[in-house]
A and B are shown apart, each in its own frame.
Chain A
């Protein structure tokens, strides 16, 4: 479980996060949704410590991450996996070496165990043949899958994904979403996903945080999202004609 208590973040004069408090639960896909520029990426980066919060606290299973120094954080970092918006695969390393990288850096595994673990992770995301290729040689959807494989290499307790399905076609997008959800259940991870895709919300939105201009505007599940009275959330959910139509039929 990851808990945020009154998290604030500004960049010079610009207040980006305003008093955000919420609990993200283990074994669930927790979504952060909101319009472009609402502060989703900044919130995710504040949770994982790529941005320092101005005040407030982030707890990883009751351990206060915000109060830790570099070395204390490092221990928690080993329990984290992150899938970046663009994949962020190391382009000088092959697919296989990318997944192996965290093992080389942080595990005490021997050579055979490493090879086995790399194979397991790549199999898990359904990468069968591309082991020796480089990131520039595989498609965007494959890059995302390799990024997921790398993120789960060390068997993390916490998984973060920044718009994991952006730039993908609807079929592949849902496959990636489902994959993340399955892995979350399988390993009982606390997974936090940034998205502005209503398809993802409907498919895997077990717990949803809606932020609007840096403020927490709503929290709930995908079942509750259609019944909301919240005007800004309504505008977000029913922005497309498809969902307007669904609303009429409801």
Chain B
């Protein structure tokens, strides 16, 4: 299938996904389940990479501040800015595209090849909406919290690393973290996070939903899902940055 056909099919697919759920109560229960699966289960990985990235950013900044005219508090400042602007939205988005994306694509894909999706359809359930709508809502709801968590944990990691390595004092670091804060950057990154959440759930769902064949094809679809959602995240990042920071 060429790219135009794929986009067309994706749009038709989304049209099926966003239709009125069969049963409100079932739908709500699904959302809670997905929040747990996609959000709560990702807390661990988000915390780990954020701590380390915050730590590395602060050390790199400290070791590059050779000019004595530059103040020490820049270490805290840079760590905060990197986390808020780019790291906690885009990099965490990419990591989740790998973790959540492959999970979704293989889950939906194996439901397709074992005829579970057919079983839903024959009952009269709109399978696309039943399976995927709750995932998208759950990610769009929970990912902003993961973003906020990542920012705080990252700054904490920076603080720990730079004070252990003795490159900057705690008070200087904290001064830098609070210096020159622009709240709009948070808005900008939250918007990115929402868009990425949509990409991370809808693209892998799409690849999983249209698998045909067996376990091998499910694996391939899962790879394609991760690669393409990562590319789309980078593309969306560029476009949103141009629009929102201009």
Shortest Cβ gap from B162 to chain A (Å):
45
Chain A's closest residue to B113 (CB) is: A86
Q: Which secondary structure dominates where chain A touches chain B?
A: mixed
Say yes or no: is A140 at the interface (Cβ < 8 Å to chain B). no
Contact B115–A80 (Cβ < 8 Å): no
Q: Which residues of A contact B123 (CB under 8 A)?
A: 77-78, 80, 101-102, 105-106
CA distance A49 to B111 in the complex (A): 19
Q: Which residues of A contact B23 (CB under 8 A)?
A: 104-105
Q: Which residues of A contact B26 (CB under 8 A)?
A: 104-105
Say yes or no: is B9 at the interface (Cβ < 8 Å to chain A). no
Say yes or no: is B14 at the interface (Cβ < 8 Å to chain A). no
Contact A48–B122 (Cβ < 8 Å): yes
Say yes or no: is A168 at the interface (Cβ < 8 Å to chain B). no
Say yes or no: is B119 at the interface (Cβ < 8 Å to chain A). yes
Shortest Cβ gap from A34 to chain B (Å):
20
Contact B124–A77 (Cβ < 8 Å): yes
Contact B115–A86 (Cβ < 8 Å): yes
Chain B's closest residue to A93 (CB) is: B116
Chain A's closest residue to B110 (CB) is: A91
Chain A's closest residue to B23 (CB) is: A105
CA distance A42 to B111 in the complex (A): 19
Chain A's closest residue to B29 (CB) is: A104
Say yes or no: is A73 at the interface (Cβ < 8 Å to chain B). yes
- Contact residues, A61-118 vs B (CB, 8 A): 73-74, 77-78, 80, 82, 84-86, 88-91, 101-102, 104-106
CA distance A49 to B22 in the complex (A): 20
Contact B124–A88 (Cβ < 8 Å): no
CA distance A238 to B91 in the complex (A): 65
Q: Which residues of B contact A85 (CB under 8 A)?
A: 115
Chain A's closest residue to B125 (CB) is: A105
| Contact pattern, B 13-33, Cβ under 8 Å of A = 1, otherwise 0 | 000000000110010000000
Q: Which residues of A contact B22 (CB under 8 A)?
A: 105-106
CA distance A84 to B125 in the complex (A): 16
Question: Which residue from A45, A73, A88 sits with its C-beta under 8 Å from B119?
Answer: A88
Say yes or no: is A50 at the interface (Cβ < 8 Å to chain B). yes
Q: Which residues of B contact A77 (CB under 8 A)?
A: 122-124
Q: Which residues of A contact B115 (CB under 8 A)?
A: 84-86, 88
Shortest Cβ gap from B83 to chain A (Å):
35
Shortest Cβ gap from B82 to chain A (Å):
39
CA distance A86 to B119 in the complex (A): 11
**A73 and B122 contact, Cβ closer than 8 Å, known pairs A85-B115, A104-B26, A105-B26:** no
Shortest Cβ gap from B127 to chain A (Å):
11
CA distance A49 to B118 in the complex (A): 10
Q: Which residues of A contact B121 (CB under 8 A)?
A: 50
Shortest Cβ gap from A69 to chain B (Å):
13
- Contact residues, A24-59 vs B (CB, 8 A): 45, 48-50
Question: Which residue from A74, A90, A104 sits with its C-beta under 8 Å from B124?
Answer: A74
Chain B's closest residue to A80 (CB) is: B122
Q: Which residues of A contact B124 (CB under 8 A)?
A: 73-74, 77-78, 106
Say yes or no: is B114 at the interface (Cβ < 8 Å to chain A). yes
Contact A50–B125 (Cβ < 8 Å): no
Q: Which residues of B contact A106 (CB under 8 A)?
A: 22, 123-124
Q: Which residues of B contact A91 (CB under 8 A)?
A: 114, 116
Q: Which residues of B contact A88 (CB under 8 A)?
A: 114-116, 118-119
Chain B's closest residue to A45 (CB) is: B118
Shortest Cβ gap from B47 to chain A (Å):
26
Residue in B22, B114, B119, B121 with the greatest tally of chain A CB atoms within 10 Å: B119
| Contact pattern, B 167-206, Cβ under 8 Å of A = 1, otherwise 0 | 0000000000000000000000000000000000000000
Q: Which residues of B contact A102 (CB under 8 A)?
A: 123
Other A-B contacts than A78-B124, A106-B124, 12 sampled, CB-CB below 8 A, are A50-B118, A74-B124, A77-B122, A77-B123, A84-B115, A84-B119, A88-B114, A89-B116, A102-B123, A105-B22, A105-B23, A105-B125
Binding site for A on B (CB under 8 A): 22-23, 26, 111, 114-116, 118-119, 121-125
The contact sample of 8 A-B pairs, CB cut-off 8 A, is: A78-B123, A84-B118, A88-B116, A90-B116, A91-B114, A104-B26, A105-B22, A106-B22
Nearest first, the 8 A-B pairs at minimum CB distance are A77-B124, A88-B115, A74-B124, A88-B119, A84-B115, A82-B122, A88-B116, A102-B123
